[in-house]
Amino acid sequence: MTPAQTADAPPRTHMTVLLILALTHLLNDLMQSLIPAVYPIIKDAYGLDFVQIGMITLTFQVAGSLFQPAVGYYTDRHPMPYSTVIGMLFTLSGLVGLAFASSYGLIIASAGCIGIGSSIFHPEATRMARYASGGRHGFAQGVFQVGGQAGGALGPLFAAIVIVPRGQDSLVWFASAALLAMLLMVWTAGQHSAIRQHVLRAKATPKAGGAERPAYSRGTVAVGIIVLMLLMFSKNAYSESFRSFYTFYLIDRFGVSIQISQLMLFVFLLASAAGALLGGIIGDRIGRYRVIWFSVLGPLPLTLLLPYADFFWTGVLTTLINLIMASAFAAIMLYAMELMPGRIGLVGGLFYGLNFGLGGIAAAMLGGLADSIGIESVYSLCSFLPLAGLLAWFLPRIERG
């Protein structure tokens, strides 16, 4: 085919690349999720309070957030697909450090290394998923997110099966996951280079020319990004109350074992995988704007009921809440990409990085509240967080949103 014919050919979704990216995302987030999954173990072993537990989350999240926008901004101009391998080296070192940490300070340092690895991985992997989408951007981000959410859900499951019975040092067994992820990242980086060249040739034609040119004023973009970040923060703050403290809530209120609480956390996080995929697919069909409205405001009746539910209905409600909330992520990120075309890495860095860092700050604040007023009262307060979904009213309406 001539270059012109290649450009006119319909874009192809590279499913193999998307699935491998989803698998690397699974492995990456699996190792990250082992941090909160071992909280009940290290809390007793080192005599930690809830503030110190929250500070571990804060360190991990802030380390993961500070570099992501900068990494994304730089790689928008100088793509570095093999940088994901370097990021995984940081994650590997942090995981091994956490397995053999003998003090609270070493736990903090190890969590920081895992956060840095995340900050390098996400912006470039997000770009790879975008280029491999073949125009099905919501579907591609949904598939990519399924991997991450599934990995996050598997952390508590492995903690219940492997880490709780065998202790903190069994974390080192998961170093094999980091090594496998590095091999897969080398392959995806090579595939990405070829796909990117094809996409750039297509954009160079008169028909496609200017497709990535910014179409909105700076004021519109600024308002849109600020509202999206506030919505993401409210969603992440509620989610962090579960990632960091759900096991303690179940143990304190219902008297379940650590293993049962970890399995409940696994079910809660597994709902995120389904929600992320559904949000991406539905967003391609009905628009990101409608999905955002439903996903950030829709859980409100369920969150208000949660503090009064028994053990069975707590499991049902938390699963439904996370299923709905998780559908927001792909829609919010793609909405931001439509507002800032050509800034894929920067957008990925902002919404994976800065907002996760804000979620870490929320975790530290919630930890302080839990020490002061009790974990059950914290969940009663958090039940009103979905009201922040009303901010979606201020989102600028965009053609493809």
Stated length of the chain = 401
Supply the CATH number for residue 68's domain. 1.20.1250.20
107 located within any domain: yes
Report d(CA 293, CA 285) in Å as an integer: 15
What total of structural domains would you count in the chain?
1
Residue 311 in domain: yes
CA 201 to chain centre: 31
CA 307 and chain centroid, separation: 25
Residue 207 has pLDDT above 60, yes or no: no
Whether 401 has a pLDDT exceeding 80, the answer reads no
Q: Could you tell me the pTM of the whole model?
A: 0.70
How far apart (Å, rounded) are the C-alpha atoms in residues 18 and 13? Answer: 8
Per cent of the chain over pLDDT 90 is 12
Query: Is residue 4 a part of any domain in this protein?
Result: no
Domain-located, residue 325: yes
pLDDT, tens only, 138-169 = 788 888 888 887 887 787 778 778 887 887 78
* pLDDT band at residue 301 under the 50/70/90 scheme: very high
Helices 288-297 + 311-326 axis angle, to 10: 160
For 74-84, what is the mean pLDDT?
81
Q: How far apart are CA 124 and CA 349, in angstroms?
A: 9
Q: How far is CA 232 from the centre of its chain?
A: 11
pLDDT per residue over 85-120, tens digit each?
999 999 999 999 988 888 888 999 999 999 899 888
pLDDT at 211 over 60: no
Quote the pLDDT of residue 198: 67
Asked if the structure places residue 5 within a domain, the reply is no
pLDDT in tens, 327-381: 887 788 888 888 888 777 788 777 777 666 666 677 778 878 888 888 788 888 8
Q: Which domain holds residue 152?
A: 13-394
pLDDT computed for residue 154 by the predictor? 81
Say how far apart CA 121 and CA 134 lie, in whole Å: 22
For residue 285, is it within any domain?
A: yes
Contacts of 261 (CB under 8 A, 6+ apart): 40, 246, 247, 248, 250, 251
User: Which residue has better confidence, 17 or 361?
Assistant: 17
The answer to whether position 390 is within a domain reads: yes
Q: Is 102 exposed, middle or buried (CB count within 10 Å of its CB: 0-12, 13-18, 19+)? A: exposed
User: Can you tell me the mean pLDDT for 164-176?
Assistant: 84
Instruction: Provide the mean pLDDT of the chain.
Output: 81
Does residue 32 lie within any of the structural domains?
Answer: yes
Over residues 228-253, mean pLDDT: 81
- Spatial separation of the C-alpha atoms in residues 209 and 202, rounded to whole Å: 8
pLDDT given at position 123: 83
**Residue 98 and residue 326: Cα distance in Å, rounded?**
28
129 vs 36: which has the higher pLDDT: 129
Mean pLDDT across the stretch 30-57? 82
- For residue 270, give Cα distances in angstroms to 39, 102, 278, 320, 383: 19, 32, 13, 11, 21
**pLDDT at 62 > cutoff 70:** yes
Closest CA to 38 of 213, 251, 258, 208: 258
Kindly provide the b/e burial profile for residues 120-131, where b requires at least 16 CB atoms within 10 angstroms of the residue's own CB. Answer: bbbbbbbbbbbb
